[in-house]
A = this chain, B = another copy of it.
């Protein structure tokens, strides 16, 4: 192994071995050498491949598992995380009913068109003025009731061929799972900005509330490998019978 310091004399004057291994595993992940849901090689195989001890591989994998990129399963192996599993389903959707258990979930796509991105979305996604984008508008239903109105903007280059039909086939499952299966794009993390806003006429109609009703407005930028922003969205949430949950540590 070669210390990064040897290659780039900048910043952290020293890069531990396990971080270099982590970067190598990350590169394989990003390149799709192991697909979401698949097992990666065992710790001892990786140790042999990279010529380091198993403990060093272990520490690299520990960090990747901590970042939800890998999932360890004792006795079975280490797997590439996927948004397809029920457990991961609601990691990015933190809405809960005020009372009782979470009921059914479904999405209804209103619109899916190709065109220019809005100013905010273009800035968030680093799109150049001429770049095409895909705009989706949909309503999320909980227990059959319309609770969330969402606008999603995607760079057309990465999500070529995404259609309303394909979205319709996928209703009920996480859209991030569709991104994985159809476009090989896995969402790693997201940043959100929350505000309160009054419902305009469109939102009022689609969410079945009076115009002016306070709604929770959530703007999100989602990132894939390499911290590349690849999805922008704004959601308007009815919070009369639901709330957004957050945990602080």
* A interface, CB within 8 angstroms of B: 67-68, 91-92, 94, 188-198, 212, 214-217, 219-220, 237, 239, 243-249
Q: In whole angstroms, what is the CA distance A196 to B235 when docked?
A: 13
Are B193 and A216 in contact, CB atoms less than 8 angstroms apart?
Answer: no
Within the complex, the shortest CB–CB distance from A222 to chain B, in Å, comes to 8
Are B247 and A191 in contact, CB atoms less than 8 angstroms apart?
Answer: yes
Complex copy number for this chain: 2
> Which B residue's beta carbon lies closest to that of A190?
B248
> Which B residue's beta carbon lies closest to that of A194?
B244
A68: which B residues are within 8 A, CB to CB? Answer: 249
Within the complex, the shortest CB–CB distance from A201 to chain B, in Å, comes to 16
Per DSSP, are chain A's interface residues mostly helix, strand or loop, or mixed?
strand
> Which B residue's beta carbon lies closest to that of A239?
B195
Within the complex, the shortest CB–CB distance from A46 to chain B, in Å, comes to 21
Q: Which of A188, A215, A245, A248 has the most CB of B within 10 A?
A: A248
Within the complex, the shortest CB–CB distance from A215 to chain B, in Å, comes to 5
Could you jot down 13 A-B contacts, CB within 8 Å? A67-B249, A91-B248, A92-B248, A192-B246, A193-B245, A194-B194, A194-B216, A194-B239, A194-B243, A196-B239, A198-B214, A214-B214, A219-B243
> Which B residue's beta carbon lies closest to that of A188?
B249
Are A247 and B196 in contact, CB atoms less than 8 angstroms apart?
Answer: no
Within the complex, the shortest CB–CB distance from A226 to chain B, in Å, comes to 16
Q: In whole angstroms, what is the CA distance A128 to B198 when docked?
A: 39
- Cβ 8 A contact of A191, one of B188, B192, B214, B245: B245
A247: which B residues are within 8 A, CB to CB? Answer: 189-192
Within the complex, the shortest CB–CB distance from A131 to chain B, in Å, comes to 25
Q: Which of A197, A198, A214 has the most CB of B within 10 A?
A: A214
Are B195 and A244 in contact, CB atoms less than 8 angstroms apart?
Answer: yes
Q: Which of A188, A193, A198, A215 has the most CB of B within 10 A?
A: A193
> Which B residue's beta carbon lies closest to that of A95?
B194
Q: In whole angstroms, what is the CA distance A190 to B212 when docked?
A: 31
